[in-house]
Amino acid sequence: MAVDLVYPHVKKNGAEPARLERLPRIRVAQIVMDYLAHGWSVEEMCRQHPHLRLAEAHSAMAYYFDHQDEIDAEIAAELTEIERLASSPPSPFLQRLRAKGIR
The pLDDT tens digits of the residues spanning 36-66 come to: 999 999 999 999 999 999 999 999 999 999 9
d(CA 71, CA 31): 11
Pick the CATH number of 10-99 from 1.10.10, 2.40.160, 2.40.50, 2.60.40: 1.10.10
pLDDT of residue 72: 97
- Spatial CB neighbours of 55, under 8 Å, sequence gap ≥ 6: 8, 9
Write down the H helix ranges in the chain. 28-38, 42-48, 54-66, 68-87, 92-99
> How confident is residue 2, by pLDDT bands cut at 50, 70 and 90?
low
The 3-state DSSP class for residue 100 equals coil
